[in-house]
Amino acid sequence: MEWTREKRYRRLEEVSSKEMQELRERVGSCPWRQTYHIQPETGLLNDPNGFSYYNGEYHLFYQWFPLGPVHGLKYWYHTKSVDLVHWENVGIGIEPAKFFESHGAFSGSALEYDGKLYLFYTGNSRDENWVRHPYQCMAVMDENGTIEKFENPVIHGVPEGYTDHFRDPKIWENDKRFYAIIGAQRSNATGCVVLYESVNLKDWEFLGEVGTELQEFGFMWECPDYFELNEQGILLFSPQGLQPEGDHYQNIYQSGYLIGDRLDFTTCEFQHTEFKELDRGFDFYAPQTMVDHNNRRIVVGWMGLPEIEYPTDRHGWAHCLTLPRELILEDGKLIQRPVEELTKLRNKEVEIETHLTNERKSFDGFNGVTYELCCEFVNHDASEFGIEVRVGEQEKTTVKYDAKHNKIVFDRSLSGESFAEEYGTVRQCEFSSNKIKFQLFVDSSSIELFVNDGEEVFTGRIFPKLESKGIQVFADGGEVKMKAIKWDY
């Protein structure tokens, strides 16, 4: 189907139930539906929104275009969970219905206040000349899960010095005041974030641009987030328009963070160290964090990227969210750990232990499509060693340690149906340690790799054949000792 503007901006109620049913069937017969990741029933999912803990449950909304695998009229879709593992599809959370969101209820965040959950999002509207007019809007969810919008936006338009690329408010509370950070583009077409303050969530005052050292760092910063860990401030955002640099910035757009002193709310200054990417893989964007009742800082990302075609598109859907990861600040770096609750997914366990010397091995009963796999490699003198998953006759996805160059490598060049090849099929990053631990979460069409308990994370979609189920371990140019446990999911 050709996705004309008209088709992208159709509303759900304009579509017949027959058309919806056909779409559902098309999605249902897709071989790459995920089994334990949040994914849309139909259409396209993008950014996580409104991630929060409220009234005894985790709430996680996402950007949703229901009618196909393209970016069209965006809704907020609502999911919830008591354990961050099993998610219930609640339904549409925010429907773009008012003049200030005529072209989509764009990304935003949530905050509990006074017994209610406040949802702060961008109303995207366009006029007859297709000029964009952003509004920042508020909706409130009560204990029964009923969501009501404010009559009017709480922030109209854009402050002087910035363009209409002005969106994705993230709110938090500090010392009885509320702050919102918003992604922006300066009039000279460079990206940045700005800060607002409020005492009641209704009236917002523009405090200014967050002062960083990054004056020319891409053309737009999307989905900003600010939080504190160990008394340090962390500014997370998704800059667009960075050029690749060595192993860095290989995707179409990036997401990463700055660590610094706590943000100064009076001057808006943020003293920080250099920008670091949060994820080293292929498909990761627009992450959002929340702090839960156990005081954990947890992040979820969109396992996808804008402007890239994926093999599921022809099945009428696209993308999923990542697993929730707990964030820990250690030695000036964010460590990401899959939340502990995920161990609930562990079923049948198989363990192997072996020595590898210039060889490749597989083991009976050691294979699968959806599982968690933990491998530890020690005493290595091999020049490289690692693991291949979803191995079939002509397919495999390789995760390895290249000891010669001290690099972790995630190679999807033979993973299955190819896509986004213009951005390369290998991701790698520097890493040196004499003990290497790979923890992999493998779902029907994705891999999330945690290296040495979250020091590095690589996230990637893969589209192998269903029958590609093999697992192989290998060492080249020497020896390594290894131990692995696999749990079926």
Site for ligand FRU in 137-176 (CB under 6 A): 167-168
Judged by beta carbon, residue 132 or residue 483, the one nearer ligand FRU is 132
Residues with a known catalytic role: 47
Triad 438, 441, 444: Cα angle to 5°: 140
Residue 442, interface with ligand FRU (CB under 6 A)? Answer: no
Residue 303, interface with ligand FRU (CB under 6 A)? Answer: no
Phi, psi at 24, each rounded to 5°? -60, -40
> Which residues, 6+ apart, have CB-to-CB distance to 421 below 8 Å?
none
Q: How far is the CB of 381 from ligand FRU (least distance, A)?
A: 44
Residue 322, interface with ligand FRU (CB under 6 A)? Answer: no
Are 451 and 459 spatial neighbours (Cβ–Cβ below 8 Å)?
no
Pairing of β 436-443 and β 446-451: antiparallel
Distances (CA, A) of 313 to 7, 45, 68, 433, 437: 16, 12, 8, 40, 34
Residue 222, interface with ligand FRU (CB under 6 A)? Answer: yes
* Residue position matching structure tokens 């779409």: 23
Q: How far is the CB of 324 from ligand FRU (least distance, A)?
A: 19
Q: Which of 34, 39, 63, 322 binds ligand FRU (CB under 6 A)?
A: 63
Judged by beta carbon, residue 62 or residue 410, the one nearer ligand FRU is 62
Judged by beta carbon, residue 126 or residue 346, the one nearer ligand FRU is 126
Pairing of β 220-229 and β 397-402: unpaired
- Number of chain residues interacting with ligand FRU (CB under 6 A): 13
Judged by beta carbon, residue 224 or residue 260, the one nearer ligand FRU is 224
Dig out the tokens for 104 from the structure: 């989509």
User: Mask: binding to ligand FRU, 25-54, rule CB under 6 A, as x and -?
Assistant: ---------------------xx-------
Dig out the tokens for 250 from the structure: 């290989």
Q: How far is the CB of 459 from ligand FRU (least distance, A)?
A: 15
Residue 74, interface with ligand FRU (CB under 6 A)? Answer: yes
Q: Which of 39, 52, 122, 472 binds ligand FRU (CB under 6 A)?
A: 122
DSSP 390-444: EE-SS--EEEEEETTTTEEEEE-TTSSS---GGG-SEEEEE---SSEEEEEEEET
Judged by beta carbon, residue 222 or residue 277, the one nearer ligand FRU is 222
- Chain positions contacting ligand FRU, by CB under 6 A: 46-47, 63, 74, 106-107, 122, 167-168, 222-223, 286, 306
